[in-house]
Structure 1
């Protein structure tokens, strides 16, 4: 299976992306999700296949979710706080 997908980002949350079937656009997206995404803007269009390597998503899962619910939502990466010792080093002045 392969699918031409439009990938959108919103203006409310950095790193959140919405994958949809290009033919359907945003028509199957629940209003609550569209509201939480904010103003959606098209980032790119891709032909996705199950074996394709995506940066932060599993292509099979993307295709499955789009087929089942009309979209795949890629959440922002989880940020982990720096180790206190590393954070302390960032406060040191840099020598040139």
Structure 2
């Protein structure tokens, strides 16, 4: 099964991406998630199938999510989240 997938980058969180079927666009993404995601920026279009390798996502999980519920949310790697949290803690400590 080949799926043409539009990938969107979050303007709010670096490393957060939404994968959607190109024909559906963002229509199946819940409004609450869109609020959290921020303004979506088109990042790339890929033809996905079971042989495709993705850098930060399991292709089987992506294809399953695209089938139902119609989108896949890729969160930033844990190292990125920890680095951002450390930077916030450091910034807050300087303000104290």
How high is the TM-score relative to the length of structure 2?
0.81
Structure 2: state its 5+ residue gaps: 84-96
2: distance between equivalents of 1:38 and 1:72?
Answer: 16
Query: Is the contact between residue 7 and residue 20 of structure 1 (CA under 8 Å) also seen in structure 2?
Result: yes
Give the C-alpha shift of residue 7 in structure 1: 0.1
How far apart are residue 51 of structure 1 and its match? 1.4
What are the ranges of 5 or more consecutive residues in structure 1 without an aligned counterpart?
Answer: 82-96
Give the equivalent residue in structure 2 for 1:47.
Answer: 47
TM-score by structure 1 length?
0.81
Provide the aligned C-alpha RMSD in A. 1.1
- 1:84 paired residue number: none
Stretches (4+) displaced over 2 A: none
Q: Aligned residues, how many? A: 81
Does residue 36 of structure 2 align to residue 28 of structure 1? Answer: no
Alignment partner, residue 67 of structure 2: 67
Give the Cα separation in 2 of the matches to 1:60 and 1:23.
Answer: 20
How big is the shift at 1:63?
Answer: 0.6
Q: Give matches, 1:82-93, under 5 Å.
A: none
Greater CA radius of gyration, 1 or 2?
Answer: 1
